[in-house]
Structure 1
Amino acid sequence: MAETNFTLVTEFLLVAFTEHPEQALPLFLFFLSIYLLTLLGNLGMIVLIRMDRRLHTPMYFLLSHLSFMDICYSSVTVPQTMAVLLEHGVALSYARCAAQFFLFTFFGSIDCYLLALMAYDRYVAVCQPLLYVTIMTQKTLLVFVAGAYVAGLCSALVRTVSAFTLSFCGHNEIDFIFCDLPPLLKLTCGDSSTQELVIIVFAIFVIPAAMVVILVSYLFIIVAILRIPSAGGRAKTFSTCASHLTAVSLFFGTLIFMYLRNNSGQSSEKDRVVSVFYTTVIPMLNPLIYSLRNKEVKEAVGKILSRVKLS
């Protein structure tokens, strides 16, 4: 390695929430309870979908993959955050930080693509109901989901290679809950414009591209709903999309705030709060959103509870 007049970073130190040691235990218990609820809710959703034949539909097939991604997505960051709180800071090797960044980007990208596919599913169900069975076949679903996984893998590989070919020097403390792009960019030195351009371009193929699919799908859905003559019919049709629209609004709203804005002069504390919301809270809320606002899921839960009570 060439000698330079600055010290190259070989490890990163996560120090989020360590400025107030007295809050470490309450925060640890908060993250632990949220993580357990995330595992319980999403695993329960996957089991419920597999057990109830009425939920063997394209929408719930995609939802089961979304629940699995939420478990993986949350598992990449939350245990790490709890370790930071217990140990008042955690040192991550260069390779471990890169691996965490890759996995977070991989699972997060697939989440975006799955939400876009679910929006397309709702479009076909509302706007092309007679063709729904022929369009959303099992083969089509498998191709869609496989494409989401492959696209997520490509995006994660390119963004990780681009991010970790940057030069990090001097200061190595990350005031954040995991190795994410905004705090890493604050540690770079030298010319990083090429890598940052690649990262931004590939970010455009994840968040905005998924949002375009979602917005176009819901534009056609809204037009179709407005054409329904009865208010009851409009409300019933919209209710089939309400839970997905809620999940999309929460997830993409926080991602846009975090990644598609100018990071200069932004508060690290504000970034941490937003990151906690989209990495910890949203994966926990998704099963609640899809169960509390979904008639089929509530009926399936009631059916299983009745079986348990009878047994």
Structure 2
Amino acid sequence: MHIVITGAAGFLGQRLVNQLLDRGELNGKAITRLTLIDQVEAPRPEVAGIESDCLALDITVPGVLDPVLQARPDVIYHLAAVVSGAAEEDLDLGMRVNFDATRALLEGCRAHGLAGTRLIMASSVAAYGGDLPEVLDDMTALHPQNSYGTQKAMCELLINDYSRRGLVDGRVLRLPTITIRPGRPNAAASSFASSILREPLNDEEAVCPVPTDLEMFVMSPGKVIEALIHGAEVPRADWAPFRAFMLPGITVTVAEMLEALGEVAGAEAVSRVRHEPDEAITAIVSNWPARFDTAKARRLGFEGDRDLREIIEAFIRERS
């Protein structure tokens, strides 16, 4: 089995690569080749029996993926994206990476006759927004309130239509806010959701830019990777009628996140979080819904975290 991953040098991409290598197979077939694509060359896996190609490519360049698609990959994980804050700040960049490159990838699949290739794209809770019901489901209309969410929503519609036409086997997973991400804060508007837990656990200060009563829909990195892998294994027919749905996260307030931090790491850890309101971040994140009926995801075998404490303790185990 040949698997392609865009955004392979990033946080999710690297975790996905490592998990696939540990498994050695996907959908009952042995993995024989990985093609890892990013702006910079991803680390090259050294595993017997698996050929690895690590390519530093700008996927916004027309035709740049043609040699990869000519090899007729079985599965494509499309994780490359400009995150929410950066997409809001630079419309042109967000459109090129988040939308234009996705459309080019779909057209490449069409041109090379990859009707049977499974294309899994990571979408986002940011695709929702506006005046919403208290609890959303997968068919709630998308009214994104920022450029990142709009770009993801457009991609969802394209993937659904190309799949309806039989041009590719597209699967879209709407990701909750991922916490706790390792590393340092990035340009995502939701970056604080990791930093207010990660930094105090690392004996560092963090800034909370939003009100503590703000609700968020969150999921751990480990559960997201499990979902990406499972997404390639669900039978094609089970994705109808629409090929995008929300993964089963958990609903928490920022206050509950800090409370869980205190339960695990003590009051001193909580004291390292400073509250400095940021209207721009609050305006973006407060439009993201936090309560979902994820019955379809659970029916198809996708699983979420039990609670915040489990997420925090998993991060501590991985860090040690």
Say yes or no: TM over 0.5.
no
Q: Quick check: which has more Rg, 1 or 2?
A: 1
What interval of TM-score do these two structures reach, taking the shorter chain for normalisation? under 0.3
Higher relative CO (Cα under 8 Å, sequence separation at least 6) belongs to 1
- TM (normalized to structure 2)? 0.27
- TM (normalized to structure 1)? 0.27
Greater fraction of residues in strand: 2
